[in-house]
Amino acid sequence: MNFQPLSESEWRAKLTPQEFHVLREAGTEAPFKGEYTDTTTEGIYSCRACGNELFRSDQKFSAHCGWPAFFSPLAGDKVIEREDTSLGMRRTEVLCAQCQSHLGHVFEGEGYDTPTDLRYCINSIAMRLEPKE
């Protein structure tokens, strides 16, 4: 990994305004609008900001929540989790471990029939799917 931290103006030049808002300002894309919400294509989801590989398609599940949902990150050290008390809620924010961009939130104990009972609720615009050959 040879990722170099970027300044705000460098991020603005690299990302679209919508990508910048989600990744660098912790925005949330509209539900059911993201390009990967219902995608079942096999492949690896990478951070759209830096290319860090984050999630695998076989850990993605249909949560019907309006955003792509994964029950586990590809590896625990690919993401950072930290407490987020914005909007008057106590949530756990998920960030890319390499570039510290905002990806989404993780929720637990919701009763989904998955191996972890975790739901990584990730903005489509924060990722890029590299389909398996």
Q: How far is the CB of 14 from Zn ion (least distance, A)?
A: 11
- Binding Zn ion (rule: CB under 5 A), the pick from 19, 22, 46, 49 is 49
**Is 65 labeled as catalytic in the residue annotation?**
no
Q: Is 52 in the site for Zn ion (CB under 5 A)?
A: yes
Instruction: Check residue 59 for interaction with Zn ion (CB under 5 A).
Output: no
The whole-angstrom separation of Cα 42 and Cα 120 is: 18
Give the number of residues written for the chain: 133
**Binding piece for Zn ion, criterion CB under 5 A, among 12-20, 30-38, 40-48, 106-114:** 40-48
How many Cα atoms within 13 Å fall on the side-chain side of residue 23? 28
Which residues, in sequence order, are CB contacts of 18 under 8 Å at separation 6+? 29, 125
Whole-angstrom distance, CA of residue 33 vs CA of residue 70: 17
Residues that bind Zn ion (CB under 5 A): 47, 49-50, 52, 96, 98-99, 101
Q: What is the set of active-site residues?
A: 121
